[in-house]
Structure 1
Amino acid sequence: MEATKGNKGSVNFMMYMLVGICLLILVCFLSVSYGAADISMKTAWQAIFSFDGRSTEHQTILTLRLPRTVADIIVGASLAVCGAIMQGTTKNPLADSGLMGISSGATFSMAVVLALFPYFSYFQMLLISFVGASLTTGLTYFVASSGKRGMTPQRLVLAGISISMLFGALSSYLSIKYKLGHALMYFTAGGTAGAKWSELLIILPFCLVGLLLSVMLSPSVTLLSLGEEVAVGLGLNTQRVKLISTIIVLILTGLSVVVIGPVSFVGLIVPHIVRFFVGVDYRYIIPASILYGAVLTVTADLIGRVINRPFETPIGIIFSLIGVPFFLYLVRKERCEF
């Protein structure tokens, strides 16, 4: 009976992954075709597979829209898998890198760079982003675990929101003091419009390593999601798994903030959606989250471009409009008592 269930789960997983791949291909072609100026999907196909440097449309696709779409894929996959890992390792259904304060630390570090070290290279900005994300992660867990009750999922979310507000205020202070208004506002609104191939080539190795490690770690996350005592009883080194998962989350969140800004709710929404279809096994949830996180982010960016043309709606606003009601729904569903 168990073998039958396992086979059925594998078949369903493969089916949903196949559907996800088809959706991703579709939304990617729509993404490179639609914007301030519409370009046919046929022209988009030609620009990718038979580029003509004399064509303005081909130049637009190759230098602007295609890197933007690739950036959406990288960020969506990264943030979604971060949410899946955090929800599994902490047994917290509300876990998300934005809600847990991680993104705010990376954003604050970027504000520091813009204010004090504007000459930093893209790679240096990436490293500073990791440092900022590490700082707020440590503070969030410290605040959540202090007190007699110790750390609970609800306290973890409250601590994350508090840390996010604190570092958001510090970022605003730097923005006012060093007159970063327009640059920081554009950054915090979220968007991949300025994505460049040279920058994507720098972050792509980090992203691929982080995603590969997350897939390799998925069986251990499944055991840890059953409870720490159960996982230890099954021989799992829980401290090592938590350490590796934290490093993965820091790397993927840090690079996502550098690319798109502090976008929240991707990691909250996607794992819950894929869990509904593929079940509670993180060997399925994590790979599916990578794929459907990319689909959701490319779609959200496309919506932001077309709903108010020729102007763009920042992708952070699109996700907030979706994510806030979803967060409230989860709070009600999980009967979270803060």
Structure 2
Amino acid sequence: MIVLAHKNPKRLPRLAGLALAFLCLISLGIGAGNVSVTTLWVPSDSTELLAISRLPRTLAAVLAGAGLAIAGLIMQAIARNRFVEPATAGTAQSAEFGILLVTILWPAATLGYKAIIASLAALAGTGVFLMTAHRLPPTQPYLVPLFGLVYGGVIGAATTFIAWQADLLQYLSVWSNGDFSGVLRGRYELLWLGALLVVAAWFIAERLTIMALGRETSISLGINYQRMLQIGLVIISVISAVTVVVIGVIPFVGLVVPNLVSRLIGDNMRNTLPVTALFGAILTLSCDILGRIIRFPYEIPVGTTMGVVGAILFLLLLFRRRADA
């Protein structure tokens, strides 16, 4: 698939779309309950199972993967660094902190209100990270992800301490490791908000591409840098917060996928954004399917499988980058 993409990049979205459709069919057929194809056209236990559990879970994996990949792409453009993503820059950890606070102060809050508070917390945390990252020397690109890991670790430690004091460590573990097993109809629809933000990002793709060139260059080319920075922060924060509220933290999607797509078809976001969304959905759904079949009928959370698969892919990208250099 990668070889074909190098020869004809225009075929890549089509191939990715076919791969995603194939994975969706596999996802709909995997589970402890049996689904009979012959009874899908009439009301039955199979149709109920698909409508209530299998289809929402598949859609949640697709929406979460696509949204996190786009959030990582935008964060890398804003921070001008290939080694950052929401899960390693304090965004996801700040969203967890916001969810914990609203759980303590307002236990009866709905998912919608939790998403709003988590988005505000993620926005504040991401803003602090970017302000600090822009002050780091550009000649040392590895300092930015290192600072992000330390910064996210500090927020995560504070969140864990508060959860321990409030006897909410079990709740915190639900948010800190992504898992699709609890996704049912009526509990995933907030992820469609992330899909809308992905569409919004496509309309400003050219401006985001210019922003990756730096503040001075962006302003000289007529871009309102401050406003675009604010829009980018909102997109990153809301997508990350909604995903954490509904699914939990899923690492590496926003880190690996944008780097892979960039190697295949370049850095023009108008071209890379749809492919990045497709690849993010493919990677997340693949890891979810993998976690469901390794110990069938038991499941491994997608955060765990993604941690292993994503780390391997990232190391391969790093070694390939060094070999090309």
3-state SS in 1 of match to 2:157: helix
- Indicate which of 119, 136, 144 corresponds to 2:108: 119
Closer, same or farther in 2 for the Cα pair 1:51/1:80, shift >3 Å?
Answer: farther
Q: TM-score, normalised by structure 1?
A: 0.85
Instruction: Identify the residue that residue 269 of structure 1 maps to in structure 2.
Output: 256
Q: Distance in 2 between matches of 1:331 and 1:269?
A: 10
Which residue pairs with 2:145 in the alignment? 157
Question: Aligned letter for 2:95?
Answer: A
Which residue of structure 2 aligns with residue 3 of structure 1? Answer: none
Distance of 1:325 and 1:20 partners within structure 2: 21
- Cα distance in 2 for residues equivalent to 1:281 and 1:35: 40
Match of 1:90 in 2: 79
Structure 1 equivalent of residue 284 of structure 2: 297
1:44-83 maps to which residues of 2 (within 5 A)? 47=40, 50-52=41-43, 55-83=44-72
Deviation digits for residues 65-111 of structure 1 (CA, Å, limit 9, x no counterpart): 11111111111011000111122232211121111110000012122
Assess if the C-alpha contact under 8 Å between 1:104 and 1:164 holds in 2. yes
Q: Is 2:186 aligned against 1:198?
A: yes
Aligned-pair CA distance for 1:183: 2.8
Q: Secondary structure at the match of 2:286?
A: helix
Q: How does 1:207-222 map to 2 (within 5 A)?
A: 207-222=194-209
Q: Is residue 26 from structure 1 mapped to residue 22 from structure 2 by the alignment? A: yes
- 2-structure distance, mates of 1:247, 1:25: 30
Q: Is there any run of 5+ residues in structure 1 with no aligned partner, and where?
A: 1-8
**What is the aligned residue count?**
317
In angstroms, what is the RMSD of aligned CA positions?
A: 2.5
* Counterpart in the other structure of 1:312: 299
Q: 1:140-192 deviations in whole A, cap 9, x for unaligned?
A: 23443557x48964333222211211121122223322222333223322112
Alpha-carbon distance between aligned partners in 2 of 1:23 and 1:150, rounded to the nearest angstrom: 38
- Mapped to 2, the partners of 1:282 and 1:145 lie a distance apart of 22
CA distance in structure 2 between the aligned counterparts of 1:51 and 1:246, rounded to whole angstroms = 46
The correspondence for 1:169, drawn from 138, 150, 157, is 157
Q: Which residue of 2 aligns with 1:186?
A: 174
Q: Give aligned-pair identity as a percent.
A: 28
Give SS of 1:119's match.
coil
Which 10-residue stretch deviates more, 299-308 or 106-115? 106-115
Structure 1 residues 86 and 51: alpha-carbon distance in aligned structure 2, compared to 1, 3 A threshold: farther
Give the Å deviation of 1:333. Answer: 6.3
1:36 corresponding residue in structure 2 = 32
Q: Confirm or deny: 8 A CA contact 1:110 1:125 kept in the other structure.
A: yes
Deviation at 1:301, TM superposition (A): 0.7
Distance 1:328 1:26, change over 3 A: closer
Instruction: Rate the CA distance shift 1:178–1:72 in 2: closer, same or farther, 3 A.
Output: same
Correspondence 1:247 to 2:243: no
Amino acid at match of 1:242: L
CA distance in 2 between partners of 1:125 and 1:221 (Å): 29
Say if 1:76 and 1:294, in contact at 8 Å, map to a contact too. Answer: yes
Q: Is the 8 A contact 1:140 1:156 kept in 2?
A: no
Q: 1:217 to 1:32 in 2, by over 3 A?
A: same
Closer, same or farther: CA 141–88 of 1 in aligned 2, 3 Å: closer
CA distance in 1, matches of 2:281, 2:295: 23
Alpha-carbon separation, structure 2, partners of 1:14 and 1:146 = 38
- What are the Cα deviations for residues 260-309 of structure 1, in whole angstroms up to 9, with x where unaligned? 11111100111122222222211111111111111111111111111111
How big is the shift at 1:196?
A: 3.1
Contact map agreement 1:101 1:137 (CA 8 A) in 2: yes
Measure, in 1, the Cα distance between the counterparts of 2:278 and 2:86: 18
The amino acid across from 2:49 in the alignment is T
Contact map agreement 1:306 1:312 (CA 8 A) in 2: yes
Give yes or no for the alignment of 1:230 onto 2:226: no
- Residues 305, 153 of structure 1: alpha-carbon distance in 2 compared, 3 angstrom cutoff: same
